[in-house]
Amino acid sequence: MTANDVMAKIKDEGIRVIDLRFVDLPGLWQHFTVSAKEFSADIFEEGIGFDGSSIRGFQQIQESDMLLFPDPSTAFIDPFAAETTLCLICNIKDPITGESYTRDPRHIAQKAEAYLKSTGIGDTAYFGPEPEFFIFDDIRFGQTYNEGYYHIDAGEGFWNAGRAENPDAAGNSRNLGYKPRYKEGYFPVPPMDSHQDLRTEMLLTLEQIGVDIEVHHHEVGTAGQAEIDMRFDSLVSMGDKLMKYKYAVKNVARRHGKTVTLMPKPIFQDNGSGMHVHQSVWKDGRNQFFEAGTYGDLSDTALHYIGGVLKHAPALLALTNPTTNSYRRLVPGYEAPINLIYSMRNRSAAVRIPVYSSSEKAKRIETRFPDPTCNGYMAFSALLMAGLDGVQNKITPPGPLDKDLYDLPPEDKAQIDSTPADLAEALDALEKDHEFLLKGDVFTKDVVETWLSYKRENEIDAIRLRPHPWEFALYFDI
């Protein structure tokens, strides 16, 4: 869709408001809405101003003015707005220099795509994320000087197996059962899977706004853990689709009096929510990851790409697993991919080679450690840059290892590197290892430094300085 197409759509369909959207550095969609009477074709060329100092990770107050430039190819109708609203995803530019804003995550993704082409390794990188999330009925949390707590409830939660609910015609409370047990929520049909229809509505809503979906299902966790998988797409387009995805699943749930979280580990002692990312690199219509007859039918390009991802994994996790909560998921025993190794079928490896199909078009790698709290534009770009660095430097990955990595003897486990233990460790790794991100000016030094300082000051310190409720159970009477 061109700018002229957008203007014609506004006129022909009587659209009265246009919503302009962009993403902040941590990865949350921001927006403001313009009357159709004030929206002209000039905005596509000249931009529209906003205050960059009020956006997380952006400008200082003394240099706050920024410009949004709508991308006409991203136009879609908001399925949740009461008034018909046309949404446009925007790029950001500096009003003084006229140059694209280096901290704009979408611009980082655009530069990553351009860098791939400049290397000659490929012309298109495809990404297929599999976000997981929880659907809750109630969430409360707070922290004051003398109190800190969170409370989660969900009709599906196994902790509600004995709760009085569902009153009958006489007003007598009863419980109808069918609560998924901890770590046993994978694939049961209704009534155990009580969110079948809700997920289907999410799927249809996503398709309505241009996000192609392959499958949805209940995930392993109790309390409504879900997975809805997107069909693969190119880097920038998939970054856009991940933003639409998060927006849609949250708002469909809210429409039904429920709430969605993409936190990796909201439930103690149950599986967390990841976002496995399938990747492949293509050139001139051919999959550069495919070579028949090798281990997993992987080409040398694919192996070296894996080598780059595994070598830079500790630094990558600062971007693909960017929250303190991310590392509560990355622990043994919950199908978490903490081992920096690759394998053809083993899901405890950081990189898996799917073998559902032997065809060239289906050949891909699956990076299993990312989670859905990441900024997709930045996470996908970082994965691509790490993989390309592996190809350029012919980095041989450790492995493959097809054993159950959780059951290896201690002496064998000691030979396998693991994911960072926490966000602080991942940030330290990124601080030491980020030159691969700077190639082609994809990530700038300023972006890396801003990310490090933002995460340390606003998240690491914020958690570190607050007493934890369980500390009182451990230490109050000491």
Nearest alpha-carbon partner for 305 in 323, 287, 285, 324: 287
Residue 396 domain flag? yes
The answer to which of 182-191, 257-266, 419-428 has the lowest mean pLDDT is 182-191
369-381 tens-digit pLDDT: 999 999 999 999 9
Query: 162 and 69 share a domain?
Result: no
CA atoms of 108 and 99, how far apart (whole Å): 13
AA identity, residue 374: C
Query: 438 and 471 share a domain?
Result: yes
Query: 95 and 130 share a domain?
Result: no
Q: 3-class SS at 422?
A: coil
Residue 472's φ and ψ, nearest 5 degrees, are -70, -35
Round the CA-based radius of gyration of the chain to a whole number and report it.
23
Query: 145 and 61 share a domain?
Result: no
| Contact residues for 323 (Cβ-Cβ < 8 A; gap 6+) | 263, 264, 371, 373, 423, 459
CA atoms of 72 and 10, how far apart (whole Å): 12
Q: How many domains does the chain have?
A: 2
Could you tell me the residue range of the domain that residue 42 belongs to? 3-101
Query: 324 and 198 share a domain?
Result: yes
Residue 400's φ and ψ, nearest 5 degrees, are -75, 165
Catalytic residues: 51, 130, 132, 219, 227, 276, 347, 366, 368
Q: Taking a C-beta distance cutoff of 8 angstroms, is the pair 435, 448 a contact?
A: no
Q: Which residues pair with 275 in a beta bridge?
A: 131
Residue 113 domain flag? no
Residue 109 domain flag? no
Q: Taking a C-beta distance cutoff of 8 angstroms, is the pair 370, 378 a contact?
A: no
The Cα angle at residue 170 between residues 173 and 258, in degrees rounded to 5:
45
* Per-residue confidence (pLDDT) for residue 91, from 0 to 100: 97
Q: What percent of the chain has pLDDT over 70?
A: 99
Residue 118 domain flag? no
Which position has the token pair 């929250």? 323
Residue 115 domain flag? no
Q: Which residues pair with 32 in a beta bridge?
A: 20
Q: Taking a C-beta distance cutoff of 8 angstroms, is the pair 93, 101 a contact?
A: yes
* Per-residue confidence (pLDDT) for residue 62, from 0 to 100: 60
Residue 110 domain flag? no
This prediction has a pTM of 0.95
AA identity, residue 471: E
Q: 3-class SS at 352?
A: strand
CA atoms of 141 and 317, how far apart (whole Å): 27
- The encoded tokens of residue 58 equal 């952006």
* Per-residue confidence (pLDDT) for residue 404, from 0 to 100: 74
